[in-house]
Amino acid sequence: MKKVLRKIFSVLILIGVVACIAFSIPNIIKMAKELSATPVPGEELTLAAACEFYGKVVEVEGRLELTNNITCSGEEPYTCRLELFDPYWKTSVFLTIPVYQGEGDPPANHMAKLPESFTNSDFYIRTADNLYARDGSFISVRGTESHSGSTCTISGIEAINMLDHLVIDVGVDPASLTLQEAITEGVVVATISGNGLSQINLSLKPNIDVNYEIEILPGTMFISATEGVQNMVVRQGQIVYLKPEMEISLELEVSCANMTLKEPSYADAFSVSTEPINEDLLRLIRSENFSYLDLTIQQFAIWTITDNPYDTNSYTGITIGNYKETPNELMIKVMRGQFEQAGIDTTKYSVFNN
């Protein structure tokens, strides 16, 4: 009996050893691959593929995302954790971006320090090509990949560069249309609803058999279907990548375009205008540095063109915390400078002449 039990026990031990080896070998192979893998110079990596090169320098492309739960270190080295998103494959990695603590413009590959209470217009990164990346910008990033479990992070940033668009490795370049063209040609069905003074909700349901690149241009106008509610104009453009049978939803950065009308709510529906907008308004929105102005100044500047208030007291106040803000002399000076930079004749607008 003892010999039989000893044999059974030996067999069980052997089974256990074999099982452990079988379980460990794939993990050992995976670990060895991660430690030895090296990206091919110049190879375009998807965000998911980049996460296979643990401890190696990788270069990836994506859309910069300023999330609501951004975290920043309170001591050296000062960094903030941002998200790099692939809008086509719907994957993302985290970026550990150095934060400049001094005054004035940050050095290349650093982001400006955020105030305790900030808006999207406070956020920007000075890139290696001496441009400014902000929320929604397409960028390429070179840095060292590290990950814990399924969380992939690129730190030790070596270079950040601006991109006009993303390179999508799907064999065939996607067809490109503006949002207005896509709706007119029946490529998408758009559902649009209000979301306050500075954002609007857009849902796109594709009616396509191939991939499309939809460009939402700054200056795109959304027309309210509700009487007495403001129309909205896009301040910050965006490119959306559509696949067949994949509906997407996003928030767009907008401003109100009718000062005396009501602020939009979620219950208010909108349509996309196919008419050209005011030429001065288009120049203002697309002018250099306009998107970096405080959101309140951006809104007052837009109302200056759409409503032409007589003086500073004629503007509708914007609620900031517990009080309403109207333009002061400094704001008017900043707005005048922006108009002149955009090539807009300031003599046409009363507030600059009273």
User: Is the Cβ–Cβ distance between 60 and 154 less than 8 Å?
Assistant: yes
Note the pLDDT of residue 40.
59
pLDDT digits (tens, 9 = 90+) for 234-248: 998 998 988 888 899
Instruction: Give this prediction's pTM.
Output: 0.75
Q: In which residue ranges of the chain is pLDDT below 70?
A: 1-44, 168-173
Note the pLDDT of residue 279.
97
Note the pLDDT of residue 5.
43
Note the pLDDT of residue 66.
85
CATH (one of 3.40.50.360, 2.40.50.140, 3.40.50.970, 3.90.1150.10) for 47-163: 2.40.50.140
Q: Domain locations in the chain?
A: 47-163, 170-277, 279-354
Closest CA to 47 of 63, 33, 36: 63
**What whole-number percentage of the chain has pLDDT above 90?**
63
Note the pLDDT of residue 36.
45
Note the pLDDT of residue 252.
93
